[in-house]
Every structure is written in structure tokens, then in C-alpha cells.
Amino acid sequence: MSDHDLSIISGSMVRSVLEGREDLVLEAVTNAYLAHAAGQTRSPRTQPLFTDGGRFFAMPASIADAQPIVGVKWVGSFVGNLAAGGERASATLIVNDAITGRPMAVVDGTLISAKRTAAGAAIALRLVAPSASLDSLGLVGCGPINYEVLRFVNHVLPVKNVYLADLDPARTEAFAARVRSEFPAVTPQASTLDEVLESADAVSFATNTSVPHIHSVPARPFVILHISLRDLAPSVIAGAYNIVDDVEHVCSARTSVHLASEELGHTRFIRGTIADLLSGALRYERPDGPTIVSPFGMAILDLAVLRVVLDRTASHPEVTRVANFRGGVWA
């Protein structure tokens, strides 16, 4: 391949190389968090673009470790797709050569995004969970993100029961049917939001709400993975033990943590980051109340998982190679 060529990697290729490889995704995401903590990454603020019916985010990033990678995640979110039976989000990743800047690959990043999000949540949960398995995991929002959360949490902490809460009963039922067929050892049960919050050992929020709707949570020691970032009122955040992926990122874009930091005028309610837990810089002591993990989700995680995909598809015959994609200016 010349450095003017470009690879195009479809979502089905990504699926074929990542399916059943939760170990590789977890390792890539762990290393990306540690690289970020070590100052080896760049991850400027997400740039949003709002259009009629949807929103887009441009997320450039780089990792400058032994296998440097530079790229951008361009993700569209159209909630209206759900009514038509489609998925809300579509992500595309563009990778550039770290030495010359030339484009190298265009990749469907939708599954990568879901898996890296779920892997990050599972890594954090494993670090603060009281035991090596979970009797119950509550999932609020029965979309593809929480499905991957179940996959990754179940990989690191085998789950017995999954309590499902969604505003749309049809989505709950479809999700439960998927769980029964793919995870026969896990028992799904439709629940209310209150039941989930009262009883699950850990609760993952992956809804599509944009305004906080939960103004109190039970004062018991359980873990909330606040993946959708905007369900919990700032007062709930302020009263909990908080872990984030990156303080600056999560204190932006009107997340619940951002709103809490504005109300309080500081970020001292954030105890540390997932990388701090991984490195031992933060010694977690289980509080009497909830622990809330709010991962903003940096594109370095997508690039880290993408490296796995690029490695595993390097000579795959089904990757589309566009010869001389980059034409240059001078003929």
C-alpha cells in the first residue's frame, strides 16, 4: 500500500474482528486511560453542530505512545431514527498518518464507539465493585449502548439478573428477548426506574434524555454508571462519591457534573478519575451512599480500539483499498 492509498473498513468488518474479543477492547481502553493520565494524548473539546432533527459532534484526538495514532470521530445523533426502527447514533472515524498527516483509513466507528463506552464503564465498575460478580445490574434505557454495557460488565463481573427500565415498553421487551437469546445465564426482568434504583447492585443510565429528571437516589452504597451524563440532578451528583474520565471534558456540554460544578462553584466533589483508580493514585473506600461514574467519553478511546481493528484487518482481503486516494495539488 502506498502512502497515497486509503482503506475503507465497514461496520461488518469491525464486528467480525471485535466479536468475542472483549479482552482486547478492555486492554485498549485501559491503556488509553493510562496514556491520557501520563500526558500522552491530545483530546480537544468536542465541537457540536446542531441541525434540524439531529446533532453532530466532531471529536479530534491523538495518542502519542509506541504506536502513535491521530484521527477524528464524527458522530451524528438523530433520536427520530428510533421511531423508524433505526439506531440513533452513527459514528465515522478518519485516521491520519501520525508522521505525514495523510489520510489512511475511513472506518465505521459506530460499534467501536458502543464497545469503548461499555468497556470504560465496565473497567470503572470492576474497580469499585464490592465483589467479583453482580447479583443484579439495572439498565435504564434499553438501547444499544446499555446492551454493550451488559456485555462488558458481564465479562468482567458475571451478572445474574438484569433489571430493565425504559419509557418504551416495546424497547424493554425487545432488549429482554436479545438478552435471553445471547446471555442465557442472565435473567432479564422489566422493572420501574424506582425498583431499579432501590435494588440493583449497579445501575447504568444510557437514556437519550437531555434534562436531568432524577432528583434523588436511595442513600445506599451502590454504583451508578452515568453514561448518558444528563439524567441526574446536580444535587444528586453533589451528594455522591464521583469518579469521571476527565474533569475538564465532563465539566462541559451541560452534563449533570457540569451543572453541579456551576452550582457549587468548584469541582472538589469529583474524587478522581478512572485512570487514578487504575494506577492506584486514588484509593477508593466504599462510601455509605452512591458512587457515580460519569465518563464523558473521549475519542482517544475510539482510536485505541480502532488500532486493534487496524491491526487485525491489515491484510484482510475484504477491506476496500482505494489506490491513490490522495491526489495532491501539483499534477
Greatest Cα pair distance in the chain: 69
Residue 138 interacts with ligand NAD (CB under 6 A): yes or no: no
Q: Whole-angstrom Cα distance, residue 329 to residue 202?
A: 55
Tell me the C-alpha to C-alpha distance, in Å, between residue 292 and each of 25, 113, 182, 280: 23, 21, 28, 18
Residue 71 interacts with ligand NAD (CB under 6 A): yes or no: no
Q: Give the residue with the Cβ less far from ligand NAD, 30 or 326.
A: 30
Tell me which residue has its CB nearest to ligand NAD. 297
Q: What is the DSSP letter of 19?
A: T
Q: Which stretch, 3-11, 136-144, 285-293, 313-321, contacts ligand NAD (CB under 6 A)?
A: 136-144
Q: Which stretch, 139-147, 156-164, 184-192, 303-311, contacts ligand NAD (CB under 6 A)?
A: 139-147
Residue 197 interacts with ligand NAD (CB under 6 A): yes or no: no
> For residue 226, which amino acid is it?
H
Say if residue 177 is exposed, middle or buried (CB neighbours under 10 Å; 0-12, 13-18, 19+).
Answer: exposed
Residue 174 interacts with ligand NAD (CB under 6 A): yes or no: no
For the record, the C-alpha cell of 322 comes out as 482505494
Residue 88 interacts with ligand NAD (CB under 6 A): yes or no: yes
**Closest distance to ligand NAD from the beta carbon of 253 (Å):** 10
| Kind plus residue range of the DSSP H or E element containing 174 | helix 169-182
Residue 207 interacts with ligand NAD (CB under 6 A): yes or no: yes
**Closest distance to ligand NAD from the beta carbon of 120 (Å):** 7
Which among 224, 245, 11, 8 is positioned nearest to 115, based on CA atoms? 11
Q: How many helices (H) and strands (E) does the chain have?
A: 11, 16
184, 290, 229, 209 alpha-carbon torsion, rounded to 10° = 70
Residue 32 interacts with ligand NAD (CB under 6 A): yes or no: no
Among 12, 19, 180, 213, which residue sits at the site for ligand NAD (rule: CB under 6 A)?
213
> For residue 247, which amino acid is it?
V
What is the contact mask toward ligand NAD in residues 297 to 326, using x (rule: CB under 6 A)?
x-----------------------------
Q: Which stretch, 15-23, 57-65, 134-142, 154-162, contacts ligand NAD (CB under 6 A)?
A: 134-142
DSSP per-residue letters across 227-242: TTSSSB-HHHHHTSEE
Residue 46 interacts with ligand NAD (CB under 6 A): yes or no: no
Residue with cell 452504597: 221
Q: Whole-angstrom Cα distance, residue 259 to residue 46?
A: 17
**Closest distance to ligand NAD from the beta carbon of 17 (Å):** 20
Q: Which stretch, 29-37, 135-143, 274-282, 311-319, contacts ligand NAD (CB under 6 A)?
A: 135-143
Residues forming contacts to ligand NAD in the complex (CB under 6 A) are 79, 82, 88-89, 113, 117, 140-146, 165-168, 171, 193, 206-209, 213, 227-229, 295-297
